[in-house]
Structure 1
Amino acid sequence: SFQKRGYLLRAYYYTALIEDSEYSSIRPLIDWLDYNGYRVVTKPAKEFTDAAGRRKIKGNMDIELAVDAMELADTGDHFVLFSGDGDFRSLVEALQRKGRKVSVVSSLTTSPPMISDDLRRQADHFIDLASLRAEIGRNPAERENRISRRTEVDEADASDEDY
């Protein structure tokens, strides 16, 4: 159904990664996206300790996304942003000034909503993720089956104790 609506020129995924981490839970997603043609943009996350002594991780990719979007503004006619971050309102407005249509995909149905009201109002189109569930969502039973199979494998490995 997407092919009837337009031509996807490029798809980007932005994320910050913790360096020196033996395993990142997001690594399988990044590898899948990269293998399937997404342009994956990463940068090292910064770790720090806050005033209360808690470990915090900061990895903002807003500038990278905005620069890439503005560089593509002359070749794309419709931008689709999967974010609810109100900081992107100015980017959406700048793309619109260049005559580009901007759709924003996020969620209003969560509590609290995952989209800034300013960003939603600025977008040419707002698409609630909940409205896409039938097209892109997973059947929850599939996830439960996958988790139970993984647990069965883990339990089988645990019973083969080699101490």
Structure 2
Amino acid sequence: MRLSTQERTCLFIDGANLYAATRSLGFDIDYRKLLDFFSTQTNLLRAYYYSALLETEEYSPLKPLTDWLAYNGYSLVTKPAKEFTDALGRRRVKGNMDIELAIDMLELAPNLDHAILFSGDSDFRRLVEAMQRKGVRVSVVSSIRTSPPMIADELRRQTDQFIELADIAEHFSRRHQDTRSRVEREDEE
């Protein structure tokens, strides 16, 4: 992993994608430790966390996390999630934050040397390419150790540096569990 304290760096965290990756790998993130880790490894200007929130519920399980992040050094970017019923009558929630993340990253490009994206979504490949054209180095944090891999192959090929989430989890996980994917653990049993 190539990180430098000389590079002006921002973190861009796709909350839903990171949550899915950490669940699949079997650990929870300590967001204070995550911020501390990247603050010591880079010249961290800001850490953005993106999440859609369902406003129709009286209590959202995301609310304590988003409140904590907002008061503890993260720039929180949220929008209301949309609730709908699909063709089979199932309740669905849609809350994509890709556009918000892409706009923020592109707007910050003139002030950055390095953008670190926490997502494996293939939709971000063009964003990574655009940032690179602006002279910004882009690292992507996700996982290929999950089954299926959490990072799209086209995004992994475009990035300047792919960082395997499981390899750095020890620096900011709440529980130091076995960070191999559930499938890998079951295969050994």
**Same fold? TM cut 0.5:** yes
Structure 2 CA distance for aligned equivalents of residues 37 and 3 of structure 1: 11
Q: What is the 5 A alignment of 1:136-151?
A: 136-139=172-175
Over the matched positions of the two proteins, sequence identity in percent amounts to 65
- For 1:17, the equivalent position in structure 2 comes to 53
Structure 1 CA distance for aligned equivalents of residues 39 and 59 of structure 2: 36
- For 2:147, the equivalent position in structure 1 comes to 111
Counterpart of 1:70 (choices 93, 103, 106) is 106
- For 1:96, the equivalent position in structure 2 comes to 132
Question: Which structure is higher in RCO with an 8 Å CA cutoff and minimum separation 6?
Answer: 2
Structure 2 CA distance for aligned equivalents of residues 2 and 60 of structure 1: 26
Structure 2 CA distance for aligned equivalents of residues 47 and 20 of structure 1: 9
Structure 1 CA distance for aligned equivalents of residues 38 and 58 of structure 2: 38
- Deviations along 1:72-118, one digit per CA (max 9) or x if unpaired, are 00001100000000000000000000010000000110000000000
* Aligned-pair CA distance for 1:4: 5.0
Runs of 5+ in structure 2 lacking a partner? 1-36, 178-189
* Aligned-pair CA distance for 1:3: 4.5
**Pairs aligned (count):** 141
- For 1:126, the equivalent position in structure 2 comes to 162
Residue 55 of structure 1 aligns to which amino acid in structure 2?
Answer: R
TM-score w.r.t. structure 1 length?
0.82
Structure 2 CA distance for aligned equivalents of residues 112 and 14 of structure 1: 23
Structure 2 CA distance for aligned equivalents of residues 79 and 37 of structure 1: 17
Which sits farther off after the overlay, 129-138 or 117-126? 129-138
- For 1:46, the equivalent position in structure 2 comes to 82
Structure 1 runs of 4+ aligned residues shifted over 3 Å read 1-5
TM-score w.r.t. structure 2 length?
0.71
Larger radius of gyration: 1
Q: CA RMSD in A?
A: 1.4
